[in-house]
Amino acid sequence: MRTRRFRKPIVVQPGRIDRDRVVLSVSDAAEVLLKDWPTPASKTRLAAIAACLAVIRGEKPPRVARQAFIVAAKDARILLGEQI
């Protein structure tokens, strides 16, 4: 499987305050969503997981997963920044 990179990174803080995470690709986003997410029952998290899966399957472009990840990160209040 080819890693689908984002054009611009996203910075989140899913855990401890001193552990920022830079998300560079769809696989990075999926890993954070599946392993480190603070609100597991969130609808926006589930939508972001579905978007990542659609990109991995080749059904959608990476920007779809990136946008869904940003929405979920804002909802979970872990978004620190996104490069514009």
| pLDDT bracket for residue 1 (50, 70, 90) | very low
Which of 70 and 15 is assigned the larger pLDDT?
70
pLDDT at 84 over 80: no
CA 7, CA 14: separation in Å to the nearest integer? 21
Tell me the C-alpha to C-alpha distance, in Å, between residue 56 and each of 14, 20, 51: 23, 25, 9
3-state helix, strand, coil in the chain (%, to 5): 50, 20, 30
CA 64, CA 71: separation in Å to the nearest integer? 11
Question: 9-63: per-residue pLDDT in tens?
Answer: 999 998 877 789 999 999 999 999 999 999 888 999 999 999 999 999 999 999 9
| pLDDT bracket for residue 3 (50, 70, 90) | low
